[in-house]
Amino acid sequence: MKSVLWGLAAVLCLAIGAAAAAEDAVRINPTDPQPTCAMCPGTYIPAAELERYTQKAIAEKLIDQQVRDIDIGKARIGIGMVRRGRLEKPAPDSVAEHDQISEVYHVISGAATLVLGPDIVNRQRRPSTMRTVREFNGPGNNGSDVKDGVAYEIKAGDVVVIPAGTGHWFTKIDDHIDYLMIRIDPDKVTPLKGEAQSMEYLSKPASRGE
């Protein structure tokens, strides 16, 4: 009986060892997909910091501000806060388009009419010296209209996805609109921005240089 029990114990140990070895082999199998951002840390942005950007926008009459620009391996993700004031009719040549960066809006407050479409009338290249081009959304164009564009009435809670190359155009803002901006930058055309740079930016008046 003892020999049978010892035999069963030996078999069990061998089975456990084999299972562990197989699990290790699975974990280190070089043919498995690997993380595209190896050993990258996560990024946390508290609501209080985002609110400071909104307050700064109101106090200094700013529109677009970049909170973070994060490397995620194959791309960069920009997080911005945008505040636009009352608009009764669109400014001339105010259709915007970005060649390489897609954008996602999450509306926080306010409401507006936003026109979207890829067929931009009277395209005009944005100067490469513009701060928004250099730091926020990369090269692109402005235009005077969007042919066959679709108008959306956007409000708090709504989400808008704007692929690179798609024109976007605010044609009316009732009072204001605040939205969180997520920029997807697969070509890494914009510079990184971390927490320390964000705190430094918030600590002093914003530069208005182009």
Residue range 89-127, pLDDT digits in tens: 999 999 999 999 999 999 999 999 999 999 999 999 999
pLDDT of residue 161: 98
Token output for 204: 């002093």
pLDDT at 40 over 80: yes
pLDDT greater at residue 5 or residue 37: 37
Residue 81, beta-bridge partner list: 65, 180
User: In this predicted model, which residue has the larger pLDDT, 40 or 25?
Assistant: 40
The alpha-helical segments, DSSP class H, found in 28-66 are 47-60
Residue that the structure tokens 């909170």 belong to: 67
147: left (phi over 0), alpha (psi -120 to 50) or beta: beta
Percentage above 90 pLDDT, the chain: 81
pLDDT computed for residue 24 by the predictor: 54
Enter the tokens of residue 160: 């808008």
Tell me which range, 5-14, 127-136, 141-150, is most confidently predicted by mean pLDDT: 141-150
SS (H, E, C) the chain: CHHHHHHHHHHHHHHHHHHHHHHHHHHCCCCCCCCCCCCCCCCCCCHHHHHHHHHHHHHHCCCEEEEEEEECCCCEEEEEEEEEEEECCCCCCCEEEECCCEEEEEEEEEEEEEEEECCEECCEECCCCCHHHHHHHCCEEEECEECCCEEEEEECCCEEEECCCCEEEEEEEEEEEEEEEEEEECCCCCCCECHHHHHHHHCCCCCCCC
* Model confidence at 28: pLDDT above 70: no
Residue 181 near residue 82 (C-beta atoms within 8 A): yes
Among the listed residues 55, 163, 45, the one whose alpha carbon sits nearest the alpha carbon of residue 102: 163
Whether the pLDDT of residue 154 is over 90: the answer is yes
Model-level pTM? 0.84
Using pLDDT thresholds of 50, 70 and 90, give the confidence band for residue 18: low
Identify any residues that bridge with 166 across adjacent strands, giving them in sequence order.
none
